[in-house]
């Protein structure tokens, strides 16, 4: 069951501040596996161990990925809550070497790095942002899509959603809503599908 907490917890849905500060060029993002429901405890303990071992310069952010939503209370007031987006996982920004690797793996409530434990593969800044702040990725896609224009009869490829990798033809354009009706061939029959601009790309 996903943990539900109030939105004031540190390292919430805002995600990592990628590129917003002077960053150690050796820093990379790693996905770390923890006991489910103990993500915050693992984060706190890891930060304490980093400090106690004087390794602050070799670690950056430690993040528990979360998603935020609003719920309406019985009183009618809205309350913003956050839930763990990926129970059992945290993201650690660090300079990977034998010492830092062992410090992370030997932390209580942490079971190890995802992938090869001794030589884990880092994820990119973009992947880290997608894991911790999917809303920003969607917003960026919408901004990029707002500069596009489509015409009826134009061939496109679906790149997001249930029909990903299907080719189709634009049947109608709603430029004010940045939406399209695409005719997709399924089992030999043309099926109309409504998609946003950001969910398709033009075929050259």
The model's pLDDT over 10-53, given as tens digits with 9 standing for 90+, comes to 344 444 555 444 567 889 999 999 998 999 999 999 999 999 99
* pLDDT at site 111: 93
The model's pLDDT over 107-129, given as tens digits with 9 standing for 90+, comes to 999 999 987 777 899 998 888 88
Provide the mean pLDDT of the chain: 81
Answer with the one of 90, 114, 138 that is the final residue of a domain.
138
Domain shared by 133 and 149, yes or no: no
Q: Kindly state the percentage of the chain with pLDDT values over 90.
A: 42
Query: How many angstroms separate the CA atoms of 191 and 181, rounded?
Result: 10
Domain shared by 98 and 190, yes or no: no
Q: What integer is the mean pLDDT of 78-103? A: 89
Q: What's 175's domain CATH number?
A: 2.30.30.30
Domain shared by 98 and 150, yes or no: no
> Directed axis angle between helix 98-105 and helix 39-52, to 10°?
140
* pLDDT at site 145: 60
- Reading across the β-sheet that carries 59-63, which strands appear in turn? 59-63, 89-95, 27-34, 110-113
Q: What is the total count of domains within the chain?
A: 2
Task: For residue 67, count CB atoms less than 10 angstroms from its CB and return exposed for 0-12, middle for 13-18, buried for 19 or more.
Answer: middle
190: domain range? 145-202
Domain shared by 171 and 71, yes or no: no
Domain shared by 153 and 54, yes or no: no
- Of 11 and 89, the structure prediction assigns the larger pLDDT to 89
Instruction: Check whether 78 has a pLDDT greater than 70.
Output: yes
Domain shared by 10 and 59, yes or no: yes
Domain shared by 128 and 180, yes or no: no
Residues 6+ apart with CB under 8 A from 8: none
Q: What's 59's domain CATH number?
A: 3.30.70.940
């Amino acid at each position: 069951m996903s943990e539900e907490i109030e939105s004031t917890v540190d390292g919430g849905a805002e995600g990592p501040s990628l590129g917003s500060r002077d960053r150690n060029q050796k820093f990379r993002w790693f996905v770390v596996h923890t006991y489910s429901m103990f993500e915050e405890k693992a984060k706190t303990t890891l930060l304490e161990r980093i400090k106690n071992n004087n390794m602050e310069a070799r670690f950056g952010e430690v993040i528990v990925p979360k998603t935020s939503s609003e719920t309406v209370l019985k009183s009618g007031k809205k309350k913003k809550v956050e839930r763990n987006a990926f129970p059992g996982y945290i993201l650690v920004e660090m300079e990977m070497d034998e010492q830092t690797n062992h410090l992370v793996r030997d932390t209580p409530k942490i079971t190890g790095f995802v992938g090869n434990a001794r030589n884990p593969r880092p994820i990119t800044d973009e992947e880290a942002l997608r894991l911790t702040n999917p809303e920003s990725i969607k917003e960026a896609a919408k901004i990029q899509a707002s500069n596009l224009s489509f015409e009826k009869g134009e061939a496109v490829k679906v790149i997001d959603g249930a029909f990903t990798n299907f080719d189709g033809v634009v049947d109608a354009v709603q430029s004010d809503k940045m939406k399209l009706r695409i005719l997709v061939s399924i089992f030999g029959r043309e099926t109309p599908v409504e998609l946003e601009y950001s969910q398709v790309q033009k075929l050259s």
